[in-house]
Amino acid sequence: MKKSKFYKIYFSVIVIFLVALIAGLIILFTWLKSYEQSQPSTIVNSVITDYLDKGKFINLKKDLDLEVSEYENDATLESALSAAIKDKKLTFSHSSLKPEGVDAAFIIKADDSKILNVYLKKHKIGKGYDIAYVELAKGVMKTVNIVMPKGTDITINGIPLADDLREDSEFPSLPSTIDVKTLTPTQTAKITGLLSETPEIKATENGKEVEVINEGTTYTVAQTIDKAVGDKVQQTAQAAAEAYAAYMQKDGSFGAFAQYCDSSTPFYKNVASSLVQFVKNHNGFKNENMSVTSLTKYSDTLYSCRVSFKHILLLSNSTYSDNFDKIVFVTKNKDTYKVIDMQNPVSSTEG
């Protein structure tokens, strides 16, 4: 009887030990699994396996606070991400660039192209991490500029352009003969975070649809301008731009440039007094990829257009390309056209 009681106690202790061991192992396994799942590499990899690999692009918005432009929708998000990762290898790496308020940052790439930024925050208790939010990499998003007469109604993918995105374009220093109050200013809107390569941009004036000219990353609302006047404005602007580029490389005289300018303007006086010329030793030059676009009317006496081209210097064994890109302002006085300023266009680069 004593022996039987001993074995009962003995086996009971073993059973209790085994139960405790199994429970401990389960708890340890659960903890280790939870710990592993809360580690940065596991979390970021789960974005790839649970969302990108499975094509659950819309869930990135719902689950991980992915923000897209108010001018885009689920369909364009799905299309953009699907195209960005198609037939490409998805990887991730740590990023040293992290916004304020996050503890770790990672970049997900499709081959060599950045697709998503993933930002993590540490647990309040413990050493694990959670996803703070994800954002589209800048290379996935597009930025466009819309140039329009003030008062034009604009829609982007069917959504009205927000008023707070419109900025009045500044006029150059105008001759005293031009009354600024009589001019119709243009406005520029810079739209960032777009996903579609060619967003649908429409314009109406007084309820009537007007043409919108797509010039790459700039969309210009066309104006009704007499063809003969428009042609003369563009011819004058182009000739002045080419003469200016040549003068700045000592390939042309100041007089050749000055003939196209209003000599009373600050622009003319600044060029005339400037001692800076961007000169490299060369044997000649040529202009290529000439483009004269964005013809704009502010009044019957003031116009502008965008002139861009490559001013190529011919060196002894190579070439050097100087990119010219300016908004050229031209005044009209009866049949006389003069350049009064050249300004840099609104930048379309999004960090």
Angle, CA of 330, 332 and 333, to the nearest 5°: 145
Collapsing DSSP to helix, strand or coil, 281 comes out as coil
Give the model confidence (pLDDT) of 316-342 as tens digits: 788 888 889 999 999 999 999 999 999
Please report which confidence band the pLDDT of residue 349 belongs to, taking 50, 70 and 90 as the band edges. Answer: very low
What value does the mean pLDDT of the chain take? 85
DSSP string, 206-272: TTEEE-EEEETTEEEE-----HHHHHHHHHHHHHHHHHHHHHHTTSS-HHHHHTTB-TTSHHHHHHH
> What pLDDT shows up at residue 27?
62
Give the model confidence (pLDDT) of 155-170 as tens digits: 999 999 999 999 988 8
Q: How far apart are CA 212 and CA 222, in angstroms?
A: 6
Q: What is the DSSP letter of 285?
A: E
Most confident range (mean pLDDT) of 9-18, 164-173, 259-268 is 259-268
> What pLDDT shows up at residue 180?
84
Q: Tell me the CB-side half-sphere exposure of residue 109, using CA atoms within 13 A.
A: 9
Please report which confidence band the pLDDT of residue 171 belongs to, taking 50, 70 and 90 as the band edges. Answer: confident
> What pLDDT shows up at residue 28?
56
Q: What is each CA distance from 126 to 28, 35, 49, 341, in whole angstroms?
A: 15, 9, 25, 63
pLDDT at residue 230 is higher than 90: yes
pLDDT at residue 101 is higher than 60: yes
> What pLDDT shows up at residue 169?
84
Residue range 42-69: mean pLDDT, rounded: 90
For the chain, which domains are there? Answer: 37-136 (3.10.450), 142-221 (no CATH), 227-343 (3.10.450.540)
Residue range 181-210: mean pLDDT, rounded: 89
* Strands of the 104-110 sheet, one edge to the other: 90-95, 104-110, 113-122, 129-136
% of the chain beyond a pLDDT of 70: 87
pLDDT at residue 127 is higher than 60: yes
Identify the H or E element spanning 5: helix 2-37
More confident residue, 350 or 156: 156
pLDDT at residue 7 is higher than 80: no
pLDDT at residue 212 is higher than 70: yes
pTM listed for this prediction: 0.65
pLDDT at residue 247 is higher than 50: yes
- Number of Cβ atoms within 10 Å of the Cβ of 95: 14
